[in-house]
């Protein structure tokens, strides 16, 4: 996980998980719409997951 991905996940979480699949984008987008912090946490968890 690069520093640019971490910064992008803090600023706009759905954009950071763009290459992880449609389901991840939708989940992170919904969480970001509800509240910013859960979206950031979900994006960081998805980016930190080593399984594809």
Q: How many domains are contained in the chain? A: 1
pTM of the model: 0.85
User: Which ranges of 1-52 does DSSP label H, i.e. alpha helix?
Assistant: 3-11, 13-16, 22-34, 36-48
Predicted confidence at residue 51, as pLDDT, reads 72
Predicted confidence at residue 30, as pLDDT, reads 95
Residue 51 DSSP label: -
- Per-residue pLDDT 10s for the chain (52 aa) are 789 999 999 999 999 999 888 999 999 999 999 999 999 999 999 999 867 6
Structural domain of 11: 3-48
């Amino acid at each position: 996980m690069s520093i640019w991905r971490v910064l992008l996940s803090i600023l706009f979480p759905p954009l950071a998980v763009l290459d992880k699949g449609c389901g991840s984008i939708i989940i992170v987008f919904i969480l970001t719409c509800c509240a910013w912090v859960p979206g950031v946490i979900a994006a960081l968890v998805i980016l930190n997951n080593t399984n594809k």
